[in-house]
């Protein structure tokens, strides 16, 4: 039995995760150190936990005296150095380039705020949206090329570009010029043979100081404090090195990274001596008022008994080397010694990363030996500590309520007065996306590195068919197939696809080309005239004051005032069911616009067919009418008029100032949260809070 009061000073905390564990430890250390002349310390072999606790202590203004120090590679000057070398020597990674441009110490001899503003302009113009691999050495040229593209009438100019001023564009040019000059010594070594480590280090230091030079011309920020001193000593040693080691420029990032990773920056002078972070060795030699044993999980305390890969146990025994299990015995000794402290806090996290953790064997034996009641009391004190710690965390579950499902209701004057036919499905399924795009005028950023995918393939095939239709080639002519392939090859060449993508897409189109000619002959033989990319002028929808416009992929004029509307699709979405039920009303609305004479060059026509032309990956071309579902046909004119009436009712709904733009009113699937504006609507948060989401293929959005 445990003597009464023997464990009164022992607290056991089973935190649900690593963040809660670190926060609770920080609060316990702060409380203990608040007493006059009191000292507190954390003992752990888990460096990740030590870094978390140090960060949490900073919120209380406490700089812990960490005996292990901080890895040099995690300090700002070393980060600038490694990012610089990575960006220069290994072109093609836009993330490395962007991280370097936004590094806090990058000044290039200019005001830092000026460089930071220019970095955002450079990111938007030169790094986002392209399909090529960026190179920091040619970033200035890429910037000018993209500016020229945006000025071209053939390229759709993004709205964010129209908001950029001439001063911002020119400021980015100045920064890019300074960047090119700063990195020139290291860029000159690319593609060269292996060089001596001192030579390549001198070029690296020159570029490093050029990059970090302040507006006054000094480099003091690069070498400030203990981190700067340590980095300066390392670089000084490399520059004067007499080693015969030769390094290929492409290998220099790895070599430099390994050299930097081996260095540690010890705590700066002025750390709080009342709060310390120790390893097991330091803890054996010192005593404090509160000792925290953190990270008490198997694999951390004790560590794993790794025999190593060089010598077997028998070989180690023959050389009189200690077996790996000796470390476990030493850990047991350290734990027993720690339990002699006046007050002790034992902590662990129930989860390590994404996986559950196993309590340390010392914890298991302790709780098994002391009995159920003392163990419960120890855990109770730990629960009280965790509850108190969470009051400091603004994003703790106890302090933060789930966000409400957004449904902003702007004034009627701010609401959009024009839609395209492709936006109506979005208005029905996710009204909040329309609010963000057309009212807040927010456009999603293009990815940093975009390999051509399904969207680009669809656009390319659309362009080929558009040009083929405009060329007026008769599908029954003997040269129809060669001319189609010639048009396609010209479009492929203009797209400048990566070789691996072209090697897949071009054979697929060559396989599809005869099917396209056969489809034209068999299904479109009675067509009098073909119009590609027909534009519909804005047409008012009923009495709503809102206009609708758009563009049809293709309209085929037939006898007796009839016309077919076709929409090319390289994927399976939307389905025929969704289009027939008017959840995806693009085709039917184009039919309604056609009957109202919105397509200026055609006049008023009666829609006869509304169909998707599916361009299958197998090369098949399938015309899929949306007029029949479950063997129940409908007239195209009737479906078009019904879609028009539904649209008018939908627009009347949003003409009421009390009705807002609800997030995800009718999504395809409940689990999909990858919409362009889902993060802005905080979908994951409000859906986790219990707000329901309607899903389905048909019906209205419930407005």
**pLDDT tens digits, one per residue of 62-82:** 888 888 788 889 899 999 999
3-state helix, strand, coil in the chain (%, to 5): 45, 15, 40
With bands split at pLDDT 50, 70 and 90, how would you rate the model's confidence at 285?
Answer: confident
Average pLDDT over all residues of the chain: 86
- Can you give the pLDDT at residue 701? 36
What is the 3-state secondary structure of 62-98?
CCEEECCCEEHHHCHHHHHHHHHHHHHHCCCCHHHHH
**pLDDT tens digits, one per residue of 77-125:** 999 999 999 999 988 888 899 999 999 999 999 999 999 999 999 999 8
**pLDDT tens digits, one per residue of 191-233:** 888 888 899 999 999 999 999 999 999 999 999 888 899 999 9
Q: Cα 131–483–555 angle (5° rounding)?
A: 80
Average pLDDT, integer, range 15-42: 90
Between 245 and 233, the higher pLDDT residue: 233
Within 10 angstroms of residue 328's Cβ, the number of other Cβ atoms is 15
**pLDDT tens digits, one per residue of 500-510:** 888 999 999 99
Question: Residues of 142-157 as b/e, b for ≥16 C-beta within 10 angstroms?
Answer: bbeebeeeeeeeeeee
With bands split at pLDDT 50, 70 and 90, how would you rate the model's confidence at 702?
Answer: very low
Within 10 angstroms of residue 637's Cβ, the number of other Cβ atoms is 17
Asked if 437 and 504 count as a contact pair (C-beta separation under 8 A), the reply is no
Asked if 9 and 344 count as a contact pair (C-beta separation under 8 A), the reply is yes
**pLDDT tens digits, one per residue of 438-452:** 999 988 888 887 678
Looking up tokens 């995918």 gives 453
Q: Give the pTM.
A: 0.75
Q: Is the pLDDT of residue 700 over 50?
A: no
Q: Is the pLDDT of residue 398 over 60?
A: no
Average pLDDT, integer, range 298-312: 74
Sign of the torsion formed by the C-alpha atoms of 677, 535, 576 and 452 = negative
Lowest mean pLDDT among 240-254, 601-615, 685-699: 685-699
- Can you give the pLDDT at residue 481? 93
Strand partners, 40: 275, 290
Distance CA 537, CA 535 (A): 6
Average pLDDT, integer, range 458-468: 91
Q: Is the pLDDT of residue 396 over 60?
A: no
- Can you give the pLDDT at residue 410? 94
Average pLDDT, integer, range 500-524: 90
Q: What is the CA radius of gyration of the chain?
A: 34
With bands split at pLDDT 50, 70 and 90, how would you rate the model's confidence at 348?
Answer: very high
- Can you give the pLDDT at residue 309? 67
Q: For the chain, what's the residue count?
A: 703
Average pLDDT, integer, range 585-603: 91
Q: Is the pLDDT of residue 401 over 70?
A: no
Lowest mean pLDDT among 4-8, 139-143, 599-603: 4-8
- Can you give the pLDDT at residue 551? 92
Strand partners, 20: none
- Can you give the pLDDT at residue 609? 92
Looking up tokens 């953190």 gives 294
Q: Is the pLDDT of residue 698 over 60?
A: no
With bands split at pLDDT 50, 70 and 90, how would you rate the model's confidence at 150?
Answer: confident
With bands split at pLDDT 50, 70 and 90, how would you rate the model's confidence at 703?
Answer: very low
Lowest mean pLDDT among 161-165, 249-253, 424-428, 669-673: 669-673
Average pLDDT, integer, range 357-385: 88
Q: Is the pLDDT of residue 464 over 50?
A: yes
- Can you give the pLDDT at residue 2? 54
């Amino acid at each position: 039995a445990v003597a009464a009061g023997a464990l009164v000073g022992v607290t056991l905390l089973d935190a649900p995760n690593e963040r809660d564990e670190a926060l609770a430890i920080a609060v316990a250390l702060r409380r203990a150190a608040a007493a006059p002349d009191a000292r507190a310390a954390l003992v752990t072999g888990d460096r990740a936990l030590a870094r978390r606790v140090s960060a949490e202590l900073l919120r209380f203004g406490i700089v812990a005296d960490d005996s292990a120090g901080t890895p040099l590679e995690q300090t700002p000057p070393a980060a600038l150095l490694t990012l610089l070398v990575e960006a220069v020597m290994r072109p093609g990674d836009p993330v490395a380039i962007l991280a370097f441009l936004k590094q806090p110490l990058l000044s290039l001899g200019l005001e830092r705020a000026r460089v930071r503003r220019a970095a955002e302009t450079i990111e938007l113009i030169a790094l986002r949206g392209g399909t090529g691999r960026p190179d920091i050495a040619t970033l200035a040229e890429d910037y000018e090329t993209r500016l020229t593209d945006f000025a071209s009438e053939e390229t759709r100019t993004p709205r964010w570009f129209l908001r950029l001023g001439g001063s911002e564009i020119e400021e980015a040019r100045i920064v890019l010029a300074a960047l090119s000059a700063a990195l020139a010594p290291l860029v000159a070594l690319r593609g060269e043979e292996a060089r001596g480590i001192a030579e390549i280090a001198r070029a690296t230091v020159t570029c490093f100081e050029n990059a970090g030079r302040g507006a006054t011309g000094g480099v003091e920020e690069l070498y400030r404090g203990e981190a700067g001193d340590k980095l300066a000593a390392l670089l000084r040693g490399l520059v004067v090195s007499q080693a015969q080691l030769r390094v290929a420029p492409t290998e220099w990032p790895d070599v430099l990274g390994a050299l930097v990773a081996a260095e540690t920056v010890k705590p700066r002078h002025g750390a709080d001596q009342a709060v310390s972070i120790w390893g097991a060795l330091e803890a054996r030699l010192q005593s404090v008022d509160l000792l925290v044993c953190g990270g008490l999980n198997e694999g951390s305390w004790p560590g794993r008994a790794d025999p190593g890969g060089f010598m077997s146990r028998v070989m180690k025994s023959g050389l009189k080397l200690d077996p790996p299990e000796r470390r476990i015995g030493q850990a047991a000794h350290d734990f027993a010694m720690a339990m002699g402290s006046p007050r002790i806090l034992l902590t662990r996290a129930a989860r390590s990363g994404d996986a559950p953790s196993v309590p340390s064997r010392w914890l298991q034996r302790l709780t098994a030996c002391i009995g159920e009641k003392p163990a419960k009391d120890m855990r109770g004190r730990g629960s009280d500590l965790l509850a108190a710690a969470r009051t400091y965390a603004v994003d703790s579950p106890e302090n933060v309520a789930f966000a409400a499902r957004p449904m902003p209701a702007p004034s009627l004057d701010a609401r959009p007065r024009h839609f395209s036919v492709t936006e109506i499905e979005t208005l029905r399924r996710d009204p909040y996306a329309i609010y963000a795009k057309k009212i807040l005028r927010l456009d999603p950023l293009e990815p940093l590195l975009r390999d051509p995918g399904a969207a680009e393939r669809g656009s390319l095939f659309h362009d080929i068919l558009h040009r083929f239709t405009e060329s007026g080639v008769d599908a029954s002519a003997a040269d129809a197939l060669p001319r189609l392939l010639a048009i396609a090859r010209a479009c492929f060449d203009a797209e400048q696809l990566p070789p691996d993508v072209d090697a897949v897409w071009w054979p697929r189109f060559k396989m599809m080309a005869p099917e396209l000619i056969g489809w034209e002959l068999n299904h479109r033989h009675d067509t009098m005239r073909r119009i590609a990319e027909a534009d519909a002028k804005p047409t008012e929808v009923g009495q709503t004051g809102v206009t609708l416009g758009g563009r049809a992929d293709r309209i085929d004029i037939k006898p007796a005032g009839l016309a077919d509307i076709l929409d090319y699709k390289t994927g399976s979405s939307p389905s025929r069911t969704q289009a027939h039920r008017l959840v995806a009303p693009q085709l039917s609305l184009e039919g309604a616009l056609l009957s109202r004479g919105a397509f200026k060059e055609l006049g008023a026509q009666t829609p006869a067919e509304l169909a998707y032309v599916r361009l299958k990956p197998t090369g098949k071309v399938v015309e899929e009418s949306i007029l029949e579902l479950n063997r129940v046909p409908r007239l195209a004119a009737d479906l078009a008029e019904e879609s028009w009436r539904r649209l008018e009712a939908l627009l009347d709904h949003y003409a009421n100032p009390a009705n807002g733009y609800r997030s995800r009113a009718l999504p395809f699937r409940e689990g999909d949260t990858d919409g362009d504006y889902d993060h802005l609507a905080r979908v994951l948060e409000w859906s986790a809070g219990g707000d329901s989401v309607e899903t389905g293929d048909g019906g209205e959005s419930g407005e």
